[in-house]
């Protein structure tokens, strides 16, 4: 199905430049482990077992943000996952980096410095322009091949992602391959039975294009989260308004009101909205309210139990389910009902299923669901949304061109 070369096509014992995406939350300057590390560690272990010498290229944060840190901590987290030492080199393509790369032997792995610390990495430019940068032109001759495993960054036209495939032999890593195959299924596979999409989370601008673009493939959309509340507001309910200082709703309403109203009327009965919502009562307990009795002043944190049950029932009769975004604030156990009931229904059912959006995937771990019970748990955010809308990912596109 895919038209790029994969690491199965590599000769053994090559010198490889491997782009991974371990962009992760940083707390007090310390990078936090997440599913991305574990997944890339599998690719790396496989490459090392084939006697390749591996230099890892990655990014973290963006200049100006407090998540913009070096990759020293990332090397340690990867080392934990791999059960072996991972050298960290505080340089990307200068003398220090080149020396460390030249000293790499078969079965060795090192991490180069945060690619976004190089000026040529970030500006979004055409792959041909990126291929011509000093960054790419300096590193490419040091290696036999380039492997892109960074599916979750494949929507960015940055030097480390799109420059190398035009300058040297290029292959997709395991994460790239599995993410691409599962996330493109909505566009590329035919499903005989019902296809359901569960959409939640916080950003209307992410979800509206998904609804509009998969129109012909999806039989019903189950909405929740902040976006679900905005649709309820468009449907005439007293919900989806900011309360005491929150800034989730009103600006999105101002920006997207017309589109939401249009989508709501166009998709009508295929678009399912919550029939009840949950909030915190005076005693700190979960309280549920039918949508007809909702109050503007209350902050709602989850879909209600009736809604959760209805969505879970719909999942059980589906042949394929795609999840993007949480139905409630699942980090708080009291408001995890919607998200967890839907995920549990998917896990129990033998449907083709993809769960994506960094946060939603985290609920799988938090509530002891087994990743194996889903066809695919995506580690991608923006790239996953683009895959659902059928938009090309520039990082995948150049791999295909290179092949």
- Residue (217 or 353) nearer to Mg ion, CB: 353
Around Cβ 271, how many Cβ atoms within 10 Å?
19
Question: Is the separation of the CB atoms in 120 and 135 below 8 Å?
Answer: yes
Q: What minimum distance in Å lies between the beta carbon of 326 and Mg ion?
A: 19
E strands, 82-225, are 87-88, 109-111, 145-148, 170-172, 195-199, 220-223
21 contributes a contact to ligand 3PG by CB under 6 A? yes
Based on the shown chain and the rule CB under 6 A, indicate whether residue 68 belongs to the binding site for ligand 3PG: no
Rounded CA separation 30/25 (Å): 8
Choices 103-111, 149-157, 160-168, 361-369; region in contact with ligand 3PG by CB under 6 A: 149-157
State which of residues 40, 156, 310, 324 lies at the interface with ligand 3PG (CB under 6 A): 156
* Rounded CA separation 118/93 (Å): 9
Q: Is 381 in the site for ligand 3PG (CB under 6 A)?
A: yes
User: Which of Mg ion, ligand 3PG, none interacts with 114 (beta carbon under 5 to 8 A by kind)?
Assistant: none
62/270 with CB nearer ligand 3PG: 62
Least separation, in Å, of the C-beta of 48 and ligand 3PG?
23
Nearest to 22 by CA among 43, 6, 38: 38
Site for ligand 3PG in 25-64 (CB under 6 A): 62
Selected binder of ligand 3PG within 152, 160, 279, 318 (CB under 6 A): 152
3-class DSSP state of 289:
strand
Answer yes or no: is 22 a known binding residue.
Answer: yes
Other CB atoms within a 10 A radius of the CB of residue 223 amount to 27
Q: Which residue is nearest to ligand 3PG (CB)?
A: 23
Residue 248 has what DSSP assignment?
Answer: S
Nearest to 240 by CA among 299, 308, 281: 299
* Binding stretches for Mg ion (CB under 5 A): 373
Binding-site annotation: residue ranges: 21-23, 36, 59-62, 116, 156, 331, 357-360
Q: Which residue ranges make up the site for ligand 3PG (CB under 6 A)?
A: 21, 23, 62, 152-153, 156, 381-382
């Amino acid at each position: 199905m895919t038209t790029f070369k994969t690491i199965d096509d590599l000769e053994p014992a090559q010198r490889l430049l491997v782009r991974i995406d371990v962009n992760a939350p940083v707390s007090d300057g310390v990078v936090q482990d997440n599913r991305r590390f574990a997944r890339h560690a599998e690719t790396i272990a496989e490459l090392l077992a084939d006697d390749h010498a591996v230099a890892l290229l990655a990014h973290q944060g963006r200049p100006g943000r407090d998540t913009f840190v070096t990759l020293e901590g990332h090397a340690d987290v990867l080392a934990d996952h791999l059960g072996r030492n991972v050298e960290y080199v505080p340089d990307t393509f200068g003398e220090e980096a080149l020396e460390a790369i030249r000293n790499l032997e078969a079965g060795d792995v090192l991490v180069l410095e945060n690619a976004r610390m190089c000026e040529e990495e970030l500006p979004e430019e055409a792959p041909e322009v990126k291929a011509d940068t000093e960054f790419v032109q300096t590193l490419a001759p040091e290696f036999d091949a380039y492997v892109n495993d960074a599916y979750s960054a494949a929507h960015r036209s940055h030097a480390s992602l799109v420059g190398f495939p035009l300058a040297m032999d290029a292959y997709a890593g395991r994460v790239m391959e599995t993410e691409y195959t599962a996330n493109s299924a909505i566009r590329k596979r035919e499903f005989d039975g019902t296809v359901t999409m569960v959409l939640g989370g916080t950003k209307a601008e992410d979800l509206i294009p998904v609804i509009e673009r998969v129109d012909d493939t999806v039989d019903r959309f189950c909405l929740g989260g902040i976006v679900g509340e905005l649709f309820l507001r468009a449907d005439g309910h007293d919900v989806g308004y900011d309360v005491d200082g929150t800034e989730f709703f009103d600006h999105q309403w101002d920006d997207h009101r017309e589109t939401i109203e249009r989508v709501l009327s166009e998709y009508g009965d295929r678009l399912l909205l919550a029939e009840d919502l949950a909030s915190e009562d005076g005693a700190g307990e979960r309280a549920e309210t039918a949508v007809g009795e909702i109050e503007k002043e209350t902050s709602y944190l989850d879909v209600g139990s009736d809604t959760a049950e209805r969505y879970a029932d719909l999942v059980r009769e589906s042949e394929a389910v795609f999840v993007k975004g949480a139905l409630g604030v699942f980090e708080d156990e009291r408001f995890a009902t919607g998200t967890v009931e839907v995920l549990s229904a998917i896990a129990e059912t033998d449907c083709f299923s993809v769960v994506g959006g960094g946060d939603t995937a985290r609920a799988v771990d938090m509530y002891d669901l087994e990743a194996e019970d889903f066809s695919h748990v995506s580690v991608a955010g923006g790239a996953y949304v683009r895959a659902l809308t059928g938009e090309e990912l520039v990082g995948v596109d150049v791999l295909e061109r290179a092949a």
